[in-house]
């Protein structure tokens, strides 16, 4: 993370000393997405829920990271759930792509890792979908909440898991 931030600062410092053609070339190398991510990752790390950890396999690629959620309450207490997040080039106009890597029996996560979380939807009927004002912090807090207050058995993506819960809460 510091590597990309350092690169951005270094390039900003070099702009004044280069010709205008060379400066515009260096500006093109760092996308709007990457500039946003430098700020958002710093904010995310400062406001990360205590049940979450973020890992960047490559510190030069802030657009690809892994999230580990370890719920401390509810049905999933003590579990460890891995998510893979990829932030597309069109970010922040489109939401990040998130997939659950841990196989889980959850009404809002399929067995193949698809996630039903309104803020990850580009278009939402209820108006709670993605908006350019949302950030990675919102995504992480939303994923964390899937294991507590956003656990939704009434409008499931994984219908079998929701029906199992309705039939037998103890074995669920």
Query: Which residue reads 């979380």 in tokens?
Result: 117
> Which residue matches tokens 């294991």?
147
Q: Which residues, other chains included, contact 24 with Cβ-Cβ below 8 Å and sequence gap of 6+?
A: none
Cβ atoms 108, 158 nearer than 8 A? yes
- Which residue(s) pair with 54 in the sheet? 67
In b/e form, how buried is each residue of 105-117, taking b as 16+ CB within 10 angstroms? Answer: ebbbbbeebebbb
Active site residue 116: yes
Tell me which of 50, 52, 100, 116 is the catalytic residue.
Answer: 116
Q: Are the CB atoms for 119 and 130 separated by under 8 Å? A: yes
The H-assigned helical ranges of the chain are 2-15, 20-29, 32-46, 136-145, 159-167
Specify whether the backbone of 113 is left (phi greater than 0), alpha (psi in -120 to 50) or beta: left
Catalytic sites, residue numbers = 116
């Amino acid at each position: 993370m510091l590597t990309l931030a350092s690169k951005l600062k270094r390039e900003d410092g070099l702009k004044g000393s280069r010709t205008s053609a060379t400066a515009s070339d260096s500006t093109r190398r760092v996308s709007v997405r990457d500039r946003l991510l430098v700020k958002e990752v710093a904010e995310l790390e400062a406001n990360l829920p205590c049940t979450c950890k973020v890992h960047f396999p490559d510190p030069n690629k802030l657009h690809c990271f892994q999230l580990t959620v370890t719920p401390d309450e509810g049905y999933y207490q003590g579990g460890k759930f891995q998510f893979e997040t990829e932030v597309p080039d069109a970010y922040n106009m489109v939401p990040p792509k998130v997939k659950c890597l841990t196989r889980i029996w959850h009404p809002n996560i399929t067995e193949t890792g698809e996630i039903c979380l309104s803020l990850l939807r580009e278009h939402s009927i209820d108006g709670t979908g993605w908006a350019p004002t949302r950030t990675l912090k919102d995504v992480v807090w939303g994923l964390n909440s899937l294991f507590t207050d956003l656990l939704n058995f009434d409008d499931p993506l994984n219908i079998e898991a929701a029906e199992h819960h309705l039939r037998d809460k103890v074995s669920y």
